[in-house]
Structure 1
Amino acid sequence: MRLVSWNIHWGCGKDGRIRMHAVIDVLRKLNPDVICLQEVAANHPELEGSASANQFRQLAGAFGGYFAIEHPTSEIYKNPVPRLFGNMLLSKFRITQAQRYLLPWPADPDHPPGMPRGLLEVVLDTPAGKLRVLTTHLEYYSPVQRLAQVRQLRALHVEAFERAQQFQPDPKLEAPFQLGFRPATAILCGDFNMLPNSPEYNELLAPFDGHVLRFVDTWRAAHPDLPRAPTTGLHGFAWPDKADCYDYFFVTEDLAPRIANSEVQSETAASDHQPIVLDLS
């Protein structure tokens, strides 16, 4: 099973031009089973390069053999067509249910206001069994907001774990209540806008009370003796000023033995972030 997570920067390269075909080409070459994307845009001509096309539709059309779920956390109405910006997930495996969450956005007068942030969760029916895949893009400017969002990620994971211990599907219930089993086993990925060993990073990976499955950083599990590969700051983009890591795959500890590889694809310059890849046996 191969998963890719990528902040595509609405397909805008370092020359300020949008080339969604380059993003699509990279993804096709990686040939993932599951694709998790951040910074997908629609009807945003004011963004660099003029992201006026509906990229959610472009990507869904380019990967017609995948199930596609959108989660534009920013939805602004300045004309009859909404301006959308957010996350997207595409899967070769059947998606049995989806949940969309808005994450906390507390006021922080010391930093720019930022934008709404969210978490997209799906349950996949894979050959190895059901599991949850979650993708997110956390706050960049405000550590206060980012830490609140990390805490909400943990709270939602605890909720899912506890429900998994007691919930069984009941076909006698009315249709909207038949959400099915939501497993405790999970993969969490995205652009977290946090550095390794930052307070937010350490809190996300901290043990839970009781028997709740903790999260494991797949890079550290796969490469315990190697320096972490940067996911940003390559190919001459104006941001950031040095190469560093903002993008991660985390898995619940029961999946750790299945980590075959965790890597960063550093070659492409189609975005100011690099795609990250997780292979599970």
Structure 2
Amino acid sequence: MRVVSYNIQYCKGRDGKIDPQRVVQAVQEADIIGFQEVDKAAARTGFIDQPQALGEGFSDYFWVYGPTVDALSRHHPRGNERRQFGNMIISRWPIVQSRNLLYTPRMGGANYLSVQLGLLETVIITPAGPIRAYCTHLHHLSPVLRLKQIEQLKQHLLEAPFEGSVISGSAGQDWSEGINEHEVPFDALIFGDFNLKPGSLEYEALVGTPHPHDPSSRLLTIDGLVDTWVVAGNKEEDGVSLIRDFETGSGLRIDYVFATAKLSKKVVGAWIDSEAVASDHQPYWVEFASPLFD
């Protein structure tokens, strides 16, 4: 199984052109994809319905879109369209349910850009069994806000299996249509542009503090997550998913796929596609061994 996280910068490539098809081509071989910064009906992207355009690029796949920004598209020719911006998950296998969760408080900016952000949750039925797949985008400026968002993310990850499906209990068929037959699994993957660097306080809030007897590993709690980049054999401080200097290739690793402990044991490889030009970020890929569950 191959998965990829990609901040697509509303399909705006290095050349400044808006091209959803170029994004699709960059991740065509993936089984599960988490996109961040997906636009819909925005003037800056020609009022394109990007979720629809991206979804059509994977004609046999399943997809859901979780807008975190929703407002009237004031300049749209039809006048009554909604301008949206958010996260998207595309899967080779059925997405049987989803929820879109908004981070609070938003803390509106007075002298900086402040955008409502959130967490898109899905339950996907893979050939090996169900997993949860999440897609998120954390605040780009404030570590204080990122820590609050991480706290909400981790709390939700822990509680979601006990909250049940989006329709649960003894509902009639006219209500459930079989939805209540699907349990919410514990195992999860979290795709996202986390806007944080390895070694930061926010990073430690996700993966734990360094092990006192083994600095190369982390103290993992039951609700903790594993950085798939590291478990694949890479160093925390290595890797660039946001290139700052194209001549030297230097930059930051701020795009991640985190996994719960059981799934992390199946990671067999991870890499960043430095050649992709469809966004200002680079796609981050992770490969898992088959079967996912023994």
Aligned to 1:243, what secondary structure does the other structure show? strand
Deviations along 1:57-84, one digit per CA (max 9) or x if unpaired, are: 1111111101110111111102411111
- The whole-number CA distance in structure 2 between the counterparts of 1:4 and 1:172 is 37
- 1:134 — aligned with what? 134
1:230 aligns with 2:240: yes
Structure 1 position 178, deviation (Å): 2.1
- 1:117/1:193 CA distance change after superposition, 3 Å: same
Paired residues for 1:1-281 under 5 Å? 1-28=1-28, 31-45=29-43, 47=44, 50-77=45-72, 78=74, 79-107=79-107, 112-163=112-163, 172-174=170-172, 175-176=175-176, 178=180, 180-206=182-208, 212-225=222-235, 227-233=237-243, 236=246, 243-281=251-289
- The whole-number CA distance in structure 1 between the counterparts of 2:236 and 2:142 is 30
Aligned to 1:132, what secondary structure does the other structure show? strand
Deviations along 1:99-152, one digit per CA (max 9) or x if unpaired, are: 110112342668625100011111111111111001101111222221111110
Q: TM-score, normalised by structure 1?
A: 0.87
- 1:202/1:21 CA distance change after superposition, 3 Å: same
Q: Identity of counterpart residues, as a percentage?
A: 31
Aligned to 2:144, what secondary structure does the other structure show? helix
- The whole-number CA distance in structure 1 between the counterparts of 2:243 and 2:67 is 26
Moved more, 171-180 or 249-258: 171-180
- The whole-number CA distance in structure 2 between the counterparts of 1:114 and 1:254 is 36
Q: 1:266, 1:274 within 8 Å by CA — same for their partners in 2?
A: yes
Structure 1 position 160, deviation (Å): 2.2
Structure 2: which 5+ runs fail to align?
A: 210-219, 290-294
- The whole-number CA distance in structure 1 between the counterparts of 2:84 and 2:163 is 32
Aligned to 2:155, what secondary structure does the other structure show? helix
Structure 1 position 246, deviation (Å): 0.9
Q: 2:198, 2:236 within 8 Å by CA — same for their partners in 1?
A: no
- 1:141/1:170 CA distance change after superposition, 3 Å: closer
Letter in 1 for 2:275: E
Letter in 2 for 1:57: Q
Q: TM-score, normalised by structure 2?
A: 0.83
Aligned to 2:105, what secondary structure does the other structure show? coil
- 1:33/1:43 CA distance change after superposition, 3 Å: same
- 1:268/1:235 CA distance change after superposition, 3 Å: farther
Structure 1 position 25, deviation (Å): 1.4
Q: 2:154, 2:223 within 8 Å by CA — same for their partners in 1?
A: no
Q: 1:42, 1:51 within 8 Å by CA — same for their partners in 2?
A: no
Q: 1:219, 1:228 within 8 Å by CA — same for their partners in 2?
A: no
Structure 1 position 262, deviation (Å): 1.3
- 1:186/1:109 CA distance change after superposition, 3 Å: same
- 1:12/1:264 CA distance change after superposition, 3 Å: same
Q: 2:11, 2:279 within 8 Å by CA — same for their partners in 1?
A: yes
- 1:199/1:108 CA distance change after superposition, 3 Å: farther
Aligned residue pairs: how many?
Answer: 268
- The whole-number CA distance in structure 2 between the counterparts of 1:229 and 1:217 is 13
Q: 1:230, 1:264 within 8 Å by CA — same for their partners in 2?
A: yes
- The whole-number CA distance in structure 1 between the counterparts of 2:109 and 2:68 is 22
Structure 1 position 212, deviation (Å): 3.2
